[in-house]
């Protein structure tokens, strides 16, 4: 092939969910913020036949049978990097007959609710497609959503949109997304509980809650929708105190669903002791991380105690760039 040896780079950001996780699966709105922690993918055409994936987060993954793409290879479905393999298969031309090497570098911890799988799929598809044609963002996002469902059954797709487009977005599963204009960017802090979670199991737990408490779930959905609506207005007007208050309300809803965890609630209490305007779990829950809206003057005290208690602290800022292809 004339392109043999050509290298392509792409990167995509992590995300936090400010309002609406779990409820978004049931066509409720959610508000997501892309943050300045990114995954970078280097894709390179090589003469060796097959697909070779190296990640600083997982064990290397090698598979030689590109031509078996149609059956998606059941014997390797449970491998951690299988969704990346699937993303590559969605991105190479049917006529492709040599090899491809993928190198993944991540600033995003796995399993704490920051959308590492979505960012990995988005950036992999973009890097691979860029070897063969000019990539198109929406097509990349839709392919990434399909690959990510291998990890997160029943995913709303919101994470992939946040990674692809960046910024702060309002998202509804069956309607798509719109950007939220930012008047004032909040000072956000992530605290990692140290407990990795399974999005799939947490989504199943919420589904079970819904089946057993239909009327209660409908009530929670309505409240979550109102919180999102008010949250969007507060973000647009720069009313940071209102954003924080709504975050607190959203966390109570997630506790009611059974999505929180005692360690997560401990972190929320810790942030509140140090003057957080608002604090909640972000992502599927059952562990993972919390996001706090802090006044900058209070951050150093919170950071000191959190580190003393052996929690990881990650100050984050808004990523308005989204997917970048080089």
Stronger pLDDT, 258 or 95, i.e. the higher one:
258
Question: Based on C-alpha coordinates, what's the Rg of the chain?
Answer: 20
The chain-wide mean pLDDT, for the chain, equals: 88
pLDDT digits (tens, 9 = 90+) for 263-302: 999 999 999 999 999 999 998 888 889 999 998 888 889 9
Is 159 assigned a catalytic role? yes
Is residue 138 helix, strand or coil?
helix
Q: What is the pLDDT of residue 1?
A: 36
List the Cα angle 4/6/91 in 5-degree steps.
85
| Same domain flag for 48 and 78 | yes
Stronger pLDDT, 152 or 56, i.e. the higher one:
56
Q: What is the pLDDT of residue 76?
A: 61
In the chain, where does DSSP find H-type helix?
A: 82-89, 116-129, 137-148, 158-165, 199-212, 214-237, 240-257, 262-273, 296-308
Provide mean pLDDT across the span 5-34: 94
Q: What is the pLDDT of residue 57?
A: 67
| Same domain flag for 110 and 138 | yes
Q: At what angle do helices 116-129 and 82-89 cross, to 10 degrees?
A: 30
pLDDT tops 80 at residue 252: yes
Is residue 151 helix, strand or coil?
coil
N residues, the chain:
326
Q: What is the pLDDT of residue 65?
A: 55
pLDDT digits (tens, 9 = 90+) for 106-125: 998 887 889 998 999 999 99
In a domain, 36, yes or no: yes
- The number of domains in the chain is 2
| Same domain flag for 149 and 193 | no
Among candidate residues 96, 105, 110, 99, the one with its CA nearest the CA of residue 124: 105
| Same domain flag for 162 and 18 | yes
Provide mean pLDDT across the span 152-172: 89
| Same domain flag for 117 and 262 | no
In a domain, 2, yes or no: no
Q: What is the pLDDT of residue 122?
A: 97
Measured CA to CA, the distance from residue 33 to residue 221 in angstroms comes to 21
User: Residue 234 sits in which domain range?
Assistant: 188-316
Q: How confident is the model at residue 33 (pLDDT cuts 50, 70, 90)?
A: very high
| Same domain flag for 107 and 201 | no
pLDDT tops 70 at residue 71: no
Q: How confident is the model at residue 128 (pLDDT cuts 50, 70, 90)?
A: very high
Measured CA to CA, the distance from residue 107 to residue 37 in angstroms comes to 5
In a domain, 278, yes or no: yes
pLDDT digits (tens, 9 = 90+) for 171-219: 999 898 999 988 767 789 999 988 877 777 888 889 999 999 999 999 9
Point out the catalytic residue in the list 159, 265, 269, 319.
Answer: 159
| Same domain flag for 169 and 263 | no
Q: What is the pLDDT of residue 2?
A: 40
| Same domain flag for 153 and 122 | yes
In a domain, 288, yes or no: yes
Among candidate residues 258, 264, 271, 292, the one with its CA nearest the CA of residue 195: 264
Provide mean pLDDT across the span 65-79: 56
Among candidate residues 137, 112, 110, 115, the one with its CA nearest the CA of residue 126: 137
């Amino acid at each position: 092939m004339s392109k043999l040896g050509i290298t392509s780079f792409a990167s995509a950001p992590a995300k936090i969910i400010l309002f609406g996780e779990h409820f978004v699966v049931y066509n409720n709105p959610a508000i997501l913020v892309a943050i300045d922690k990114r995954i970078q993918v280097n894709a390179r055409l090589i003469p060796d036949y097959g697909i070779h994936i190296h990640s600083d987060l997982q064990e290397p993954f090698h598979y030689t049978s590109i031509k078996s793409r149609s059956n998606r290879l059941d014997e390797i479905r449970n491998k951690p990097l299988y969704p990346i393999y699937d993303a590559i298969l969605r991105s190479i031309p049917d006529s492709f007959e040599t090899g491809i090497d993928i190198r993944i570098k991540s600033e995003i911890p796995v399993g704490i609710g920051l959308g590492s799988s979505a960012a990995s799929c988005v950036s992999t598809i973009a890097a691979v497609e860029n070897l063969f044609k000019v990539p198109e963002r929406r097509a990349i996002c839709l392919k990434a959503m399909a690959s990510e469902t291998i990890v997160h059954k029943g995913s709303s797709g919101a994470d992939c949109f946040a990674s692809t487009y960046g910024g702060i977005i309002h998202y509804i599963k069956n309607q798509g997304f719109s950007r939220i204009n930012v008047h004032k960017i909040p000072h956000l802090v992530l605290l990692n509980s140290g407990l990795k979670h399974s999005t799939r199991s947490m989504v199943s737990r919420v589904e079970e809650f819904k089946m057993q408490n239909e009327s209660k779930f409908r009530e929670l959905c309505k409240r979550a929708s109102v919180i999102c609506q008010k949250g969007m207005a507060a973000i647009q007007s720069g009313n940071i105190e209102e954003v924080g208050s709504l975050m607190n309300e959203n966390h109570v809803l997630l506790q009611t669903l059974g999505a929180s965890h005692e360690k997560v609630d401990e972190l929320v209490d810790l942030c509140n002791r140090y003057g957080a305007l608002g604090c909640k779990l972000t992502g599927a829950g059952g562990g993972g991380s919390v996001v706090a809206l802090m006044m900058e003057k209070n951050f150093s005290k919170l950071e000191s105690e959190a580190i003393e208690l052996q929690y990881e602290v990650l100050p984050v800022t808004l990523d308005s760039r989204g997917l970048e292809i080089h």
